[in-house]
Every structure is written in C-alpha cells, then in structure tokens.
Amino acid sequence: MTLPIEITNWLNSSIGAASRSMPFMMWNTFLALIPLVLSQWLFRGKGSGVRRVSWWIGLVMFVAFLPNAPYVLTDIIHLVKFIKGGAAIWTITFVLVPQFLIFMLIGTEAYVVSLINVGHYLRKQGWGQWTLAAEISLHALCSIGIFLGRFPRFNSWDLITGPQRLLLYIGQELIKPQPIAVMLVTFLGIAVIYWPLKQITLAMILYWQSPEYRQSLRRRSFE
C-alpha cells in the first residue's frame, strides 16, 4: 500500500529537518554529559574523599565543561531558524519541537544532577552550609561560559589550547554593559529553571530509593 503523496512529502521533509538537527544535537549532548560523568566520579565515586592531583585535574575539567550542559538551552535559536525558514507547521509541531525539547531536557537534567552531586559531596565533607553558595557560583560561571560559547564561540578546551586569547577577550569585552546584561539574564534563567528541576529530580531519586518502589520492582519481576 502506498502512502498519499502529501503524507510522503511531509515525511520526507520532516526526516530531512530532523536529520539536519542531529549532528549538532549529538555533539552538544555529548559535551553536556561530560560534566555529569565527571561529577559522578568526583563527588560520588569511591575516591571522592581523597583529593589527589587527578581529583583536582578532574575538578578543573568539571568546571570547564559544566557550561556545556545548560548551554543546550540556547540552541533554541536553531528551532527559530527552522520556523523562519518556512518549515511546515506539522513538522514543527510533531517533529522539531519534541526533538528540541528532549535534547534540551537531557542537557539541563545533566546540569541539575551534576550540581546535586556537588551538594552531596559538600554535605558528606561537612560543608553542607556552602551548597547554595556553590550553586550560585556555578550558575554565574556557567553564565559566563555560555556567553563565551554562544557569541565569541569559545570552547571549553580553549582554556588549554588558547588561554591567552581567551583571557584577553575576557579582560577587554566581558566588562562591557551588553555582555554583563546578557550574562545576568542567563544567570537568572539558569537559576529559575534549575530550582524546580532540582526539586523534581530529588523527589524522583527519593522515590526510586524508597522501599515501596523496590517492592513494586520485586512484584513485577515475579509477575
């Protein structure tokens, strides 16, 4: 049975639109997951209480790559480009919007879980009172990192491959009113999104760790 030509054309255009988004989505998702993996090792791993040289190197890498997680929120500009480019309303509604929502949720949740791991580590070390200050500081650093990545197009590895150029730009450009305003808005956006997602994530973690959930899994395994 052959599909009507209208449906065939819509499927072809939808697949084409989705496939054009996949390369940068896969790459940015990979970058967003790096700080999550590092946070598991640094703050929840067996060696998290022993701060060797490798731990400090990992911490620097964690801070350097962390902005890549909330950075995915700014990729909404690509969806806007598709809309402005004349993509069909059905393609936007049923293909692109769900695709971008899943992509952004993965990156944002990676950021939330990474900071939850930071808070876990601070409490384990007896520094729980510094959790909020650490979250605010990381929000601020990520706001700077997102600006540097979105506008002058710096990358996390520029800290190693081009530190002089990066520091020169920071010293000359980030003190101007426009970058400060953009970073402030970014900071507020991250903070507003982070807080409810943190509560939801913690609630889900508590539920998964509850005896009731474990009992339900055991019952399902015997059904």
In the chain, domain spans = 5-222
Residue 192: predicted pLDDT: 97
- Where the chain has pLDDT below 70, the residues are 1-11, 47-50, 213-214, 216-223
| pLDDT recorded at residue 104 | 95
Which residues 6+ apart lie within 8 Å of 120 measured at CB?
43, 44
Q: Is 142 helix (H, G, I), strand (E, B) or coil?
A: helix
**So what's the pLDDT on residue 36?**
97
Task: Quote the pLDDT of residue 5.
Answer: 65
pLDDT at 148: 96
Decide: pTM greater than 0.85: yes
SS3 of the chain: CCCCHHHHHHHHHHHHHHHHHHHHHHHHHHHHHHHHHHHHHHHHCCCCCCCCHHHHHHHHHHHHHCCHHHHHHHHHHHHHHHHHCCCCHHHHHHHHHHHHHHHHHHHHHHHHHHHHHHHHHHHHCCCHHHHHHHHHHHHHHHHHHHHHHHCCCCCCCHHHHCHHHHHHHHHHHCCCHHHHHHHHHHHHHHHHHHHHHHHHHHHHHHHHHCHHHHHHHHHHHHC
The pLDDT value recorded for residue 4 is: 64
